[in-house]
């Protein structure tokens, strides 16, 4: 038997806390890889959190309705045939969760602060619960005994779950992630105008006899081209973590999606490099519907290896985007517009798209970035028959 401490995952670089809304398993349950075990409310909405092990549930440590810090242990699992390990605090972009050495089996926890000179009397159990719940024991009011019990900790945790305006919370989360990106990632930017007339003609023909339920939008062609190019560009696809580039073999393409009424999420289209045009369209439609109605999965929120942001529908010519930490690059697409274009020495009217790239200079140089952008263009016009 091997025990696994299941921690509140960071569903994106900007998440600090999450509230356990509903447990979907109970102690004694046998769970499979990929099974949703808990619903967590975050700044980005309600997320289904999956487990990436075959395991038996030993204990659920956080009651429903309680908010804890990222990294706090929320459940104990018995993992068949696995070494003791801690899941989180952030799953790397690769499919396998981090295998930390046994010495770090206790998840990273904010140190329990005690004001100098004040002595906090708390039972070991209370301290463990406080750590699990992300509660500072020094702030917990002791019960009548004068000694802080686990119950006191739980009460404090429950009452500290303040009601928050979700819009404001999301704004703060975006602010934190983008400020971190601009502070830490040395961005460089490239852009290119691309004649997409042939791609649009292909798309019109592709859609001509299709029912509305099978229709493909231009964004799916762009997403497919970016995913294919990313699969061949390790310095653009993955993460920069602990001072090193961690390239990903798979492409999980973050698809920046505006929420109605403000805010932004970029859930990942998993294994996007393997999808043909129709499968890409279905994947986008599925994820966009769940951005609006809930039900995004934890893996979709944390697995992104590169992001695409398309703002052309709002009329902008192009976008110089900000990289989502810890990713290595982000591709931007502006609007498709008719422009005079020179073909074979003559000026003709063509449909033109401005593609842009922001990439991490720690991972690549402009030369590689230019090749990557070229490769996107190559995959865009004209698309191969699916």
Q: How far apart are the first and last CA of the chain?
A: 47
CB atoms within 10 A of CB 314: 10
Q: Which is closer to other proteins, CB of 79 or CB of 287?
A: 287
Q: Which is closer to other proteins, CB of 115 or CB of 211?
A: 211
The pair of structure tokens assigned to 161 is 């779950």
Q: Which is closer to other proteins, CB of 146 or CB of 211?
A: 211
- Closest approach of other proteins to the CB of residue 177, in Å: 23
Task: State how far the Cα of 200 lies from the Cα of 218, in Å rounded to an integer.
Answer: 7
Contacts to other proteins by CB under 8 A: 204, 207-208, 210-213, 215, 217-219, 258, 260-261, 284-285, 288-289, 292, 313
Which phi and psi (to 5°) does residue 240 adopt?
Answer: -110, 110
Q: Which is closer to other proteins, CB of 94 or CB of 285?
A: 285
Q: Are strands 306-310 and 329-343 parallel, antiparallel or unpaired?
A: parallel
Task: State how far the Cα of 236 lies from the Cα of 177, in Å rounded to an integer.
Answer: 19
Q: What is the CA radius of gyration of the chain?
A: 24
Residues 79 and 52 sit within 8 Å (Cβ to Cβ): no
Task: State how far the Cα of 382 lies from the Cα of 386, in Å rounded to an integer.
Answer: 11
- Closest approach of other proteins to the CB of residue 204, in Å: 7
Q: Which is closer to other proteins, CB of 25 or CB of 216?
A: 216
- Closest approach of other proteins to the CB of residue 292, in Å: 8
Q: Which is closer to other proteins, CB of 172 or CB of 215?
A: 215
Strands (E), the chain: 2-7, 17-23, 30-31, 36-42, 45-50, 55-60, 67-69, 73-79, 85-87, 187-195, 238-241, 244-247, 253-255, 257-258, 264-265, 268-269, 296-297, 306-310, 329-343, 346-360
- Closest approach of other proteins to the CB of residue 263, in Å: 13
Q: Which is closer to other proteins, CB of 184 or CB of 313?
A: 313
CB atoms within 10 A of CB 373: 23
Closest by CA to 60, choosing from 114, 108, 24, is 24
Q: Which is closer to other proteins, CB of 95 or CB of 207?
A: 207
- Closest approach of other proteins to the CB of residue 356, in Å: 19
- Closest approach of other proteins to the CB of residue 336, in Å: 11
- Closest approach of other proteins to the CB of residue 294, in Å: 12
- Closest approach of other proteins to the CB of residue 51, in Å: 31
């Amino acid at each position: 038997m091997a025990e696994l401490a299941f921690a509140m995952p960071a569903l994106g670089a900007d998440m600090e806390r999450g509230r356990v809304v509903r447990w979907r398993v109970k102690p004694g349950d046998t769970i499979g890889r990929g099974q949703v075990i808990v619903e967590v409310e975050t700044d980005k909405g309600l997320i289904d959190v999956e487990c990436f092990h075959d395991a038996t549930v030993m204990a659920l440590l956080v009651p429903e309705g309680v908010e804890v810090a990222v990294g706090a242990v929320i459940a104990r699992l018995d993992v068949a045939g696995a070494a003791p390990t801690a899941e989180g605090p952030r799953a790397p972009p690769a499919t396998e969760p981090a295998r930390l050495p046994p010495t770090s089996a206790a998840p990273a926890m904010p140190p329990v602060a005690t004001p100098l000179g004040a002595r906090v009397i708390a039972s070991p159990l209370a301290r463990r619960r406080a750590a699990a719940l992300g509660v500072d024991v020094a702030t917990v009011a002791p019960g009548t005994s004068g000694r802080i019990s686990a119950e006191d900790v739980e009460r404090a945790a429950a009452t500290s779950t303040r009601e928050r305006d979700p819009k404001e919370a999301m704004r703060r989360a975006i602010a934190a992630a983008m400020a971190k990106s601009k502070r830490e990632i040395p961005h460089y930017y490239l852009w290119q105008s691309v004649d997409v007339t042939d791609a649009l003609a292909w798309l019109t023909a592709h859609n001509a006899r299709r029912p509305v339920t099978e229709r493909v939008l231009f964004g799916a062609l762009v997403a497919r081209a970016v995913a294919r190019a990313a699969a061949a560009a390790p310095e653009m696809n993955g993460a920069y973590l602990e001072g090193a580039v961690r390239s990903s073999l798979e492409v999980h393409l973050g698809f920046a999606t505006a929420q109605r009424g403000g805010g932004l999420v970029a859930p990942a289209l998993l294994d996007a490099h393997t999808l043909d045009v129709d499968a890409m369209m279905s994947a986008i439609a599925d994820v966009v519907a769940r951005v609006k109605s809930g039900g995004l999965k934890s893996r979709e929120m944390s697995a992104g290896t590169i992001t695409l942001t398309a703002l052309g529908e709002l009329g902008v010519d192009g976008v110089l985007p900000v990289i989502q930490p810890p990713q290595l690059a982000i591709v931007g697409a502006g609007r498709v517009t008719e422009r005079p274009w020179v073909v074979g020495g003559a000026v003709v009217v063509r449909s033109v798209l401005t593609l842009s790239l922001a990439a991490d200079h720690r991972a690549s140089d402009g030369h590689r970035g230019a090749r990557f952008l070229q490769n996107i263009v190559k995959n865009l016009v004209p698309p191969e028959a699916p």
